[in-house]
């Protein structure tokens, strides 16, 4: 059913011609809409993974990038994965990785990523570098991460889901992340084991921060 609104001129007359009232109402609605939109913009995607390449000697062996059609499904239908490469010796002073943005001050309840089975998942890389407010830097390495499942992407590749709950963070982080570690200062993912340790590359996806998944560049989904 469609209700026809009376013409503006009729409404004004029926309210005693209070055009000022109408303007005030319009202004109030505009303010409310503005506040709501600002709230959405501020809320935004909570976490992002921004790739980085650390290569002070310009060796050219590292690469870090979100790449399409290499990962598990995500909101953009482009199946992005985070590709991390170190195509040379581990001892070379170079690494690839990603900085997780938006995590400062959170209480860490879950950490994780999915790692493609054709790439490297070693004791030391890829790993989370987690800096906590009370006790500093912790390493959380891929190999020791509990397996929470196996997935197949649209391209036919297998993925291992790695998830660390508070118990796993206590048992496998080095040093252990405990209840006394405080809140998160920063989190990054680092890939610095080279071709003498494994394949020299890895694909990650669905980076998990407290159950929020980062599956593509720019936002968390």
Interface positions with Ca ion (CB under 5 A):
71-72, 74, 80, 205, 215
- Shortest distance (Å) from residue 66 CB to Ca ion: 8
Q: How near is the Cβ of 23 to Ca ion at its closest, in Å?
A: 49
Per the listing, tokens 């007359």 go with: 13
Distance CA 76, CA 58 (A): 33
Q: What angle do CA 92, 175, 169 make, to 5 degrees?
A: 105
- Minimal distance, residue 123 CB to Ca ion, in Å: 25
Which of residues 74 and 208 has its CB atom nearest to Ca ion in the complex? 74
CB of 110 to Ca ion, least distance (A): 18
Please name the helix (run of DSSP H) or strand (run of DSSP E) that holds residue 23, with its range, or none: helix 19-43
Q: Minimum CB separation from Ca ion for residue 124, in Å? A: 24
Shortest Cβ 177–Ca ion spacing (Å): 26
With respect to Ca ion, which residue has the nearer C-beta, 49 or 173?
A: 49
Inter-CA distances, 171 with 31, 174, 189, Å? 51, 8, 19
Rounded CA-CA distance 85/56 in Å is 16
- DSSP assigned state of 3: P
Query: What tokens appear for 54 in the block?
Result: 């650390």
Q: Cα dist. 69→80, 100, 159, 217 in Å?
A: 6, 22, 14, 13
Identity of the residue, 78 or 99, whose beta carbon is nearer to Ca ion in the bound complex: 78
CA distance 110 to 210: 4
Closer Cβ to Ca ion, 72 or 140, answer by number:
72
Q: Which is nearer to Ca ion, 51 or 71 (CB)?
A: 71
Interatomic CA distance for residues 124 and 193, integer angstroms: 7
User: With respect to Ca ion, which residue has the nearer C-beta, 126 or 215?
Assistant: 215
Element (H, E) at 43: helix 19-43
């Amino acid at each position: 059913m469609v209700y026809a609104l009376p013409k503006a001129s009729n409404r004004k007359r029926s309210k005693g011609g209070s055009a000022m009232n109408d303007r005030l109402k319009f202004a109030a609605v505009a303010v409310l809409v503005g506040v709501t939109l600002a709230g959405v913009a501020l809320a935004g995607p909570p976490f992002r993974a921004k790739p980085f390449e650390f290569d002070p000697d310009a060796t050219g062996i590292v690469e870090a990038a979100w790449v399409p059609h290499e990962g598990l499904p995500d909101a953009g239908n482009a199946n992005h994965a985070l590709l991390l490469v170190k195509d040379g010796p581990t001892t070379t002073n170079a690494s690839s990785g990603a900085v997780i943005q938006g995590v400062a001050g959170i209480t860490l309840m879950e950490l994780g990523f999915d790692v493609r089975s054709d790439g490297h998942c070693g004791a030391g890389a890829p790993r989370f570098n987690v800096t906590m407010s009370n006790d500093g830097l912790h390493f959380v390495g891929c190999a020791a991460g509990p397996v929470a499942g196996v997935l197949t992407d649209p391209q036919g590749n297998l993925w291992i889901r790695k998830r660390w709950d508070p118990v796993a963070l206590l048992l496998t982080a080095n040093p252990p992340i405990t209840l006394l570690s405080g809140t998160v200062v920063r989190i990054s993912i680092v890939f610095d084991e080279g071709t003498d340790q494994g394949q020299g590359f890895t694909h990650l996806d669905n980076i998990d921060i407290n159950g929020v998944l980062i599956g593509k560049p720019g936002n968390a989904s």
